[in-house]
């Protein structure tokens, strides 16, 4: 596990966007795994800026997002599809057919999970997966207790996640209680992983991720077993590390 310590959110986003841009440029076809939430927003803005400055093109990029709320469609401003369109896809030259998220309003959610997993397999491996970190150690929406052998599946969100994500909604009761998420095993099959964490409220989780035991009770700890993972943390998020 490589650890990159940076000063602040801006440096974290710059570091990550440079990696993503360099890797896209060095490859004929690039499969990029993406996350939503506050953490990668700066990274996405930097990618948009680089595209506008003609530094990079996304024509040969295929993306797979980690997760989506069940019950929220593309036109719902709280859906992750809407978030990704707004924060990235609408502003770059990616082929919309290549920008994949699970469909949270599929009539058969179980089938949707299987199809999403199969689509990743058909496309080949994810070259680089970007991850954020839940305060409870979740990655994607794999909550504490999720099996390390899990594949894309439907999951119940725990109270800590609903509470943390309620900041995006008008009322806490509006936060969906279920989601589709790529599984831990699906994530671990990515060739490379970059996890981003910024701010004091992530410090405890970062400590457990880096220094704690590998356990399904803290899903992100599985990353200690991945051969090519980089944790990019700012000073505040690193503040509890030995």
Name residues contacting ligand F6R, limited to 24-43 (CB under 6 A).
35-39
How far is the C-alpha of 232 from the C-alpha of 5, rounded, in Å? Answer: 6
Closest CB to ligand F6R belongs to which residue?
132
Q: How many residues bind ligand F6R (CB under 6 A)?
A: 13
Q: Which two three-digit tokens encode residue 189?
A: 């099959």
CB nearer ligand F6R, residue 57 or residue 192: 192
Is 143 catalytic? The answer is: yes
CB nearer ligand F6R, residue 68 or residue 127: 68
Instruction: Tell me: does residue 157 bind ligand F6R (CB under 6 A).
Output: no
Name residues contacting ligand F6R, limited to 41-100 (CB under 6 A).
66-67
CB nearer ligand F6R, residue 25 or residue 145: 145
CB nearer ligand F6R, residue 20 or residue 66: 66
CB nearer ligand F6R, residue 51 or residue 83: 83
Helix then strand count (H, E) for the chain reads 7, 10
> What DSSP line would sit under 167-179, residue for residue?
GGSSSGGGS-SEE
- Minimum CB separation of residue 168 from ligand F6R in Å reads 8
Which of 140, 176, 183, 219 lies at the binding interface for ligand F6R (CB under 6 A)?
140
How does 182-193 read in b/e, with b if 16+ C-beta sit within 10 Å? Answer: bbbbbbbbbebb
Instruction: Tell me: does residue 143 bind ligand F6R (CB under 6 A).
Output: no
- Minimum CB separation of residue 138 from ligand F6R in Å reads 5
- Minimum CB separation of residue 42 from ligand F6R in Å reads 11
Q: Which two three-digit tokens encode residue 198?
A: 């910024």
Pairing of strands 128-131, 229-234: unpaired
Taking alpha carbons only, the member of 123, 125, 160, 128 closest to residue 141 is 160
Q: Which residues contact 126 (CB under 8 A, 6 or more apart)?
A: 31, 32, 33, 64, 120, 189, 190, 191
Q: Which two three-digit tokens encode residue 106?
A: 């599929």
Q: Which residues contact 157 (CB under 8 A, 6 or more apart)?
A: 141, 143, 165, 175, 176, 177, 178, 179
- Minimum CB separation of residue 79 from ligand F6R in Å reads 11
Residues at the contact surface with ligand F6R, assessed by CB under 6 A: 35-39, 66-67, 132-134, 138-140
Catalytic site residues? 67, 136, 138, 143
């Amino acid at each position: 596990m490589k650890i990159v310590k940076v000063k602040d959110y801006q440096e974290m986003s710059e570091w990550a966007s440079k990696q993503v841009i360099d890797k896209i440029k060095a490859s004929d076809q690039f499969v990029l795994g993406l996350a939503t939430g506050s953490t990668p927003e700066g990274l996405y803005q930097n990618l948009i800026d680089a595209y506008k400055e003609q530094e990079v093109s996304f024509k040969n990029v295929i993306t797979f997002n980690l997760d989506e709320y069940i019950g929220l469609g593309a036109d719902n401003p709280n859906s992750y599809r809407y978030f990704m369109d707004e924060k990235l896809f609408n502003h770059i030259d990616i082929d919309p057919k290549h920008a994949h998220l699970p469909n949270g309003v599929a009539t058969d959610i179980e089938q949707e999970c299987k199809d999403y997993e199969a689509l990743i397999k058909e496309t080949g491996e994810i070259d680089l997966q970007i991850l954020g970190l839940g305060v409870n150690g979740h990655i994607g929406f794999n909550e504490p207790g999720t099996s390390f052998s899990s594949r894309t599946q439907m999951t119940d969100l725990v109270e800590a996640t609903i509470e943390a994500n309620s900041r995006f909604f008008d009322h806490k009761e509006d936060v969906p209680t279920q989601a589709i998420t790529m599984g831990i095993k699906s994530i671990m099959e990515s060739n490379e992983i970059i996890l981003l964490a910024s701010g004091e409220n992530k410090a405890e989780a970062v400590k457990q991720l880096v220094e704690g035991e590998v356990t399904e009770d803290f899903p992100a700890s599985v990353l200690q077993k991945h051969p090519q993972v980089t944790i990019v943390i700012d000073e505040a998020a690193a503040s509890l590390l030995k």
